[in-house]
């Protein structure tokens, strides 16, 4: 046999050599000669880099295969059987990819790897990489409209393979965390380790052998002929003892017997996959049936005949699990007294106590608690079983576990509190239950967002109300440093913002950079005008300072408001007594800035509020000076009507300019009336006609008099 390739060789040579090795793996696997397979494929002397290369290859194949599975599934009806199987395969591929990447990382950081562990890693990764290659090729050849039963069998067997190897990789990662080689070998020799490795090797053999069946069966009709030639199947298992129904039997929902039977296609599919299904032990099915019906006498009789109380029926369920499903406390007590395991028999399966909580079988749950089952148990990965039970969402079962000592602040293995997970699902009832048992109302999710921020982001009003009632911090921040109140306003959820303010949220709060919320709302260009006005009103009504200044330029809120296109925001600030003797960044007053940018409605609002109409800005200008220099009759009249003094010393140049233009109509606006006939009347024939000023008060903006703007085409 050729030597195992190493990373020092070119990639193409390594791929060719690995393909040769993988073919050798499959040769031995198809003949179930596991011992010879182990001897031929052991990679005890191969460098660590070869193992990490295999991990990377598995990850790459998983990504490409998942893309092919999604491609085929996208061309099928959503509830089609093949579509569901393809989705399952795609999900399993994604999980396998993550586990392979984690395994590669564990290999890179591991300080010691025993020879036995290296051999298991080499066999497992090589077999997985090879079968992943076959899976990818088959998926590339699938077409949505041409899928048959053989394809369904292929997807089923390979889906089982992917899930089994995902479990194996998780176990191997756990073994690699052990720092000593002796501890690693001891973990491999443990019952759990042997079971997981045997399952992986058995599943590999079944997956490889299933290809021979699939190559001979191209369609349902061909398979039907194949089954016909086989003749009837003989059951070699001894019949169970006659089942006698006791006089007191717990009710079980009856199954319809006169309904339509399974379709022919389903029957063929069931026959095709029969080799992959679990084979029950002798009389275990009868024991499970007796347990489901609550027939304690029959259960006791079967136990006395030596039936394995930890065996499994054709559905893979133990008698105790059947008792859990049907909530048969008496039968469960008999099974436990006969040696049924109250802990998990499968490393990836919930223990019976948490299974009962997941389905709400509280009678059996009490029996398990009496027998010593713990509510604090954890999986091999460190994940608390209580977290998995909470994820099932059965409120009655979770209440039972909490009342028996389960921790309401339990966190999943990646650090997220279980209550935060349920808050994301908007499971108000379960979140209330956890809070009532001491869960933290300010718990955060995996990225650090408090539950209240998550609820605001999702718009769950009832969840927000519950969290506020239970003492959640209303001024908490999300991971971006934004307060929950500002986040609600930015999400345009003003109803939630009002709810937060009513609960006591700080309207004068700031973001992580100390910028006031009021300033940020005023400057927010994504809010509609009505939304912005309502948000500003809510903040001001709840006590936000109308004179608050921004952290960058030191400008008060009203300066930002006059820069934004919403006069109603300015009016809200003025109504809440915002100071108006302020200057813009370039030295303008509020009035001179509004004139500079030609915002008449802002000018009117400021004048109606009583802003100083004669204030000189930093550029030595007054509002009436700007009006005169613009030769704007309507603006000049508006300013003089509000007390502007055009004859002030600072305005002399502007008045001289107007007189030079012989705009006596404008001159008359600020000339004192002393009974002398006005200049405009004396020079009526030489001056443009001025509109009626009584009508101009209500329609000055719509019908301006002749002016410089009119001549320049600005109106």
Give the pLDDT confidence of 504-538 residue by residue, as tens digits: 899 999 988 899 999 999 999 999 999 999 999 99
Q: Which residue has better confidence, 480 or 428?
A: 428
User: Six-digit token pair at 481?
Assistant: 């440093």
Asked whether the predicted pLDDT for residue 34 surpasses 80, the reply is no
Cα Rg of the chain (Å, integer):
40
CB contact at 8 A, 421 and 391? yes
Alpha-carbon span 471 to 417, nearest angstrom: 17
Our measurement of the distance from residue 599's CA atom to the centroid of its chain's CA atoms, rounded to an integer in Å, reads 46
The predicted structure's pLDDT at residue 270: 54
The predicted structure's pLDDT at residue 603: 96
- The pLDDT tens digits of the residues spanning 91-126 come to 889 989 999 999 988 888 888 888 888 889 988 898
Alpha-carbon span 36 to 33, nearest angstrom: 6
Alpha-carbon span 572 to 329, nearest angstrom: 68
The predicted structure's pLDDT at residue 320: 94
CB contact at 8 A, 117 and 176? yes
Asked whether the predicted pLDDT for residue 653 surpasses 60, the reply is yes
H helical segments located in 341-480: 352-359, 362-370, 385-392, 395-403, 418-424, 428-436, 451-458, 461-469
Q: What is the mean pLDDT of residues 279-308?
A: 88
Task: Tell me, yes or no, if the pTM score tops 0.85.
Answer: no
The predicted structure's pLDDT at residue 710: 38
Q: What's the DSSP call for residue 549?
A: B
H helical segments located in 217-263: 220-230
pLDDT cut 70: percent of the chain above it:
76
Q: What is the mean pLDDT of residues 581-598?
A: 95
Confidence band of 664 (pLDDT split at 50, 70, 90)? very high
CA neighbor of 222 nearest in space, from 152, 145, 149, 155: 149
Q: What is the mean pLDDT of residues 218-223?
A: 40
The predicted structure's pLDDT at residue 347: 59
Alpha-carbon span 449 to 654, nearest angstrom: 60
Alpha-carbon span 435 to 456, nearest angstrom: 18
Q: What's the DSSP call for residue 275?
A: G
Asked whether the predicted pLDDT for residue 308 surpasses 80, the reply is yes
Confidence band of 71 (pLDDT split at 50, 70, 90)? confident
């Amino acid at each position: 046999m050729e030597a195992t390739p190493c990373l020092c060789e070119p990639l193409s040579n390594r791929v060719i050599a690995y393909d040769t090795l993988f073919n050798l793996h499959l040769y031995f696997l198809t003949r179930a000669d596991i011992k010879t397979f182990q001897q031929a494929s052991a990679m005890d002397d191969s460098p660590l880099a070869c193992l990490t290369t295999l991990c990377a290859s598995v990850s790459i194949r998983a990504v490409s295969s998942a893309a092919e599975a999604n491609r085929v599934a996208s061309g099928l009806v959503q509830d089609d059987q093949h579509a569901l199987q393809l989705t399952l395969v795609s999900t399993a591929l994604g999980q396998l990819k993550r586990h392979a990447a984690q395994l590669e990382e564990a290999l890179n950081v591991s300080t010691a790897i025993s020879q036995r562990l290296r051999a298991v890693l080499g066999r497992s990764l090589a077999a997985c990489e090879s079968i992943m290659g076959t899976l990818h090729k088959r998926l590339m050849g699938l077409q949505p409209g041409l899928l048959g039963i053989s394809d369904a069998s292929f997807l089923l067997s390979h889906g089982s393979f992917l899930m089994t190897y995902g479990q194996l990789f998780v176990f191997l990662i756990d073994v690699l965390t052990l720092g000593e080689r002796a501890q690693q070998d001891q973990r491999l020799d443990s019952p759990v380790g042997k079971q997981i490795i045997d399952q992986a090797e058995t599943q590999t053999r079944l997956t490889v052998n299933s290809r021979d069946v699939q190559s001979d069966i191209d369609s349902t009709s061909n398979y039907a002929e194949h089954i016909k030639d086989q003749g009837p199947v003989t059951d070699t298992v001894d019949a169970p003892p006659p089942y006698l129904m006791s006089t007191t039997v717990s009710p079980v929902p009856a199954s319809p017997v006169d309904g339509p039977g399974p379709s022919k296609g389903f029957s063929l599919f069931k026959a095709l996959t029969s080799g992959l299904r679990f084979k029950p032990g002798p009389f275990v099915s009868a024991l499970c049936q007796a347990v489901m019906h609550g027939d304690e006498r029959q259960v006791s009789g079967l136990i006395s005949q030596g039936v394995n109380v930890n065996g499994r029926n054709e559905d893979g369920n133990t008698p105790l699990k059947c008792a859990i499903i049907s909530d048969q406390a008496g039968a469960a007590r008999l099974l436990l007294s006969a040696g049924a395991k109250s802990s998990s028999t499968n490393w990836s399966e919930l223990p019976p106590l948490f299974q009962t909580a997941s389905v709400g079988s509280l009678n059996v749950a009490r029996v398990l608690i009496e027998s010593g089952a713990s509510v604090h148990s954890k999986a091999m990965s460190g994940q608390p079983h209580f977290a998995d039970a909470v994820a099932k969402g059965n409120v009655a079962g979770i209440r039972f576990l909490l009342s028996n000592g389960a921790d309401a602040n339990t966190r999943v293995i990646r650090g997220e509190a279980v209550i935060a997970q349920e808050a994301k699902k908007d499971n108000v009832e379960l979140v209330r239950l956890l809070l009532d048992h001491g869960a933290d109302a300010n718990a955060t999710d995996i990225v650090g967002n408090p539950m209240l921020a998550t609820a605001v982001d999702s718009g769950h009003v009832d969840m927000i109300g519950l969290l506020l009632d239970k003492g959640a911090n209303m001024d908490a921040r999300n991971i971006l440093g934004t307060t929950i109140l500002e986040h609600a306003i930015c999400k345009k959820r003003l109803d939630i913002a009002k709810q937060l303010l009513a609960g006591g949220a700080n309207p004068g709060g700031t973001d992580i950079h100390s910028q006031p919320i009021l300033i940020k709302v005023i400057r927010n260009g994504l809010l509609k005008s009505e939304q912005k006005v309502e948000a500003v009103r809510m903040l001001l009504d709840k006590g936000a300072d109308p004179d608050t200044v921004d952290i960058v330029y030191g400008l008060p809120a009203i300066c930002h408001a006059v820069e934004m296109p919403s006069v109603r925001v300015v009016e809200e600030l003025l109504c809440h007594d915002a100071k108006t003797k302020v200057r813009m960044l370039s030295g303008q007053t509020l009035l001179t800035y509004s004139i500079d940018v030609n915002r008449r409605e802002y000018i009117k609002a400021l004048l109606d509020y009583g802003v100083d109409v004669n204030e000189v800005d930093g550029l030595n200008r007054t509002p009436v000076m700007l009006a005169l220099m613009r030769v704007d009759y309507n603006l000049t009249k508006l300013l003089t009507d509000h007390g502007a003094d055009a004859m002030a010393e600072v305005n002399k140049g502007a008045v001289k300019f107007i007189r030079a233009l012989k705009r006596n109509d404008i001159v008359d606006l600020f000339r004192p009336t002393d009974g002398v006939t006005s200049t405009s009347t004396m020079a009526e024939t030489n001056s443009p006609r001025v509109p009626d000023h009584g009508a101009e008060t209500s329609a000055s903006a719509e019908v301006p008099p002749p002016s410089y703007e009119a001549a320049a085409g600005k109106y």
